[in-house]
């Protein structure tokens, strides 16, 4: 395949990734009253507190049912989340405190926050996980089929173009 065909495939895959990102963000933001900033802050706290456990991207034996126990989580500061997201400190602080007030996030001390395993095992996130499975499996199957078609020279890249 020549480089222009690779570039076309790259653009197609980017378009598909954008579509999947937007669908995922809409799904996840519902738990936060469709506030995408709050959702991003929440997800950042969640992932930053378990990043040391997810470094190799393989299933970790301590993540029973897909959720790490609180004893393995590392608390995260507002400053760290601000730096991770690129959001201003004050914006991040407001959203972290909104998460604490709503019960989605726990304050361990004045500057340390985590998302607890109880929150992740709750009904809102169980529903989100179930809906995400459908979304993710559909996305993976679609991309797999499209890449097979591209490899066989029967590319149908008209839908989802940039």
pLDDT at 56 over 80: no
pTM of the model: 0.81
How do the domains of the chain map onto residue ranges? 1-32+122-162, 35-116
What average pLDDT does this structure show over 22-35? 94
* More confidently predicted of 41 and 155: 41
* More confidently predicted of 152 and 67: 67
Which band of pLDDT confidence, cut at 50, 70 and 90, is reported for residue 61?
A: confident
Long-range contacts of 117-126 (CB under 8 A, 24+ apart): 117/67, 117/68, 117/69, 117/70, 120/46, 120/67, 121/65, 121/67, 124/31, 125/31
pLDDT at 47 over 80: yes
What average pLDDT does this structure show over 110-127? 92
pLDDT at 49 over 60: yes
Q: Percentage of the chain surpassing pLDDT 90?
A: 57
Which band of pLDDT confidence, cut at 50, 70 and 90, is reported for residue 162?
A: low
pLDDT at 1 over 50: no
pLDDT at 75 over 80: yes
Q: Which CATH architecture has domain 35-116?
A: Orthogonal Bundle (1.10)
Rounded-to-integer distance, Cα 88 and Cα 138, Å: 35
Which band of pLDDT confidence, cut at 50, 70 and 90, is reported for residue 115?
A: very high
pLDDT at 87: 98
Range of lowest pLDDT (25-34, 36-45, 46-55, 79-88): 46-55
């Amino acid at each position: 395949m020549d480089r222009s065909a690779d570039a076309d495939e790259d653009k197609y895959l980017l378009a598909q990734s954008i579509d999947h990102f937007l669908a995922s963000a809409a799904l996840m933001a519902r738990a936060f009253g469709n506030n995408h900033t709050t959702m991003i802050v929440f997800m950042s706290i969640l992932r930053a507190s378990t990043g040391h456990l997810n470094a190799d991207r393989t299933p970790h034996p301590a993540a029973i049912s897909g959720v790490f126990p609180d004893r393995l989580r590392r608390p995260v500061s507002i400053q760290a989340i601000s730096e991770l997201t690129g959001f201003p400190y004050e914006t991040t602080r407001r959203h972290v405190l909104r998460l604490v007030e709503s019960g989605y996030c726990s304050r361990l001390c004045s500057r340390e926050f985590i998302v607890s395993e109880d929150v992740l095992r709750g009904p809102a996130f169980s529903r989100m996980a179930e809906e995400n499975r459908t979304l993710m499996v559909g996305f993976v199957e679609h991309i797999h089929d499209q890449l097979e078609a591209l490899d066989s020279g029967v590319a149908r890249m008209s839908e989802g173009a940039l």
